[in-house]
Amino acid sequence: MLRSELGERLTLMERFDRGKRDEGSERRFRSHIERILKGEGGISDWELECRDQICKVRVLAEDQEWLRQISQDQELRGSFRSYQAIGGSPDAGEKRKWDDAVFQLNPEDEATAASALNRLLESFKASSALSDCTNGYQTSGTFEVLASLGESGLSYRFVGTLVDTPAGRCIADRLQAAGAVARLPPPPAREARAGARFRSPPEP
């Protein structure tokens, strides 16, 4: 069996166990994990190790709220493509238990590009474009976008109930205009993607 075929059959944890230490991935992932666990989660007992762009986070906590915080963190969007959680057992004499999760990181150039795309979409969402194009949200519906940055440059795919309406075409034009002047990194070796969903009127 080829090594690539074997890799596809293994779980993330099995691939981590077979991998080699990856200090570069550890450096770029550690600052985010420390910010989330120490700053937001108030967790002091945790460990991090990365091998071949797969990072294992080991946390001593009463529940897995920390995993939800990592998986939904805005700054980490695009940094990893998948993860696997492994339940642990209670630590001696207390309610807390050690839990593990392994994260398959994206290559650094792809993660950087995905982060830039997410910033573009978040900035657009915070702008007045949706209100302007729907006449103060009087036109109701949804508009979803998948933005991609690859060899051919920046591209978009639009879906939703507003797409084929004047409001949807206005939103698409405004987003493409914003993307044309956005400061984006060079295209990564593998296409980076980011998505967003807009609703008119906005969800409360």
Dump pLDDT digits (tens) for 99-132. 999 999 999 999 999 999 999 999 999 999 999 9
Bridge-based pairing state of the strands 97-105 and 54-61: antiparallel
The pLDDT, as a whole number, for residue 63 is 87
pLDDT at 124: 97
DSSP-assigned letter for residue 90: B
pTM of the model: 0.77
56 by Cβ neighbours in 10 Å (0-12 / 13-18 / 19+) ranks as: buried
Looking at residue 6, its pLDDT comes to 47
Phi then psi for residue 68, to 5 deg, are -65, -40
Reference 174, options 202, 152, 143; nearest CA is 143
Predicted pLDDT of residue 91: 59
∠ CA 75-79-80, nearest 5°, is: 130
Give long-range contacts, CB 8 A cutoff, 24+ apart: 121-128. Answer: 121/145, 121/147, 121/194, 121/195, 121/196, 122/74, 122/196, 123/178, 124/174, 124/175, 124/178, 124/196, 125/196, 125/198, 127/174, 127/178
> pLDDT value at position 94?
65
CA-based nearest residue to 2, from 16, 10, 17, 11? 10
**192 within 8 A of 78, measured Cβ to Cβ:** yes
Question: What is the pLDDT, as a whole number, of residue 195?
Answer: 95
| Listed residue (203, 42, 51) closest to 137, CA to CA | 203
Which spans in the chain are helix H? Answer: 3-9, 12-18, 23-34, 65-71, 108-126, 129-133, 166-181
Residue spans of the chain under pLDDT 70: 1-8, 88-94
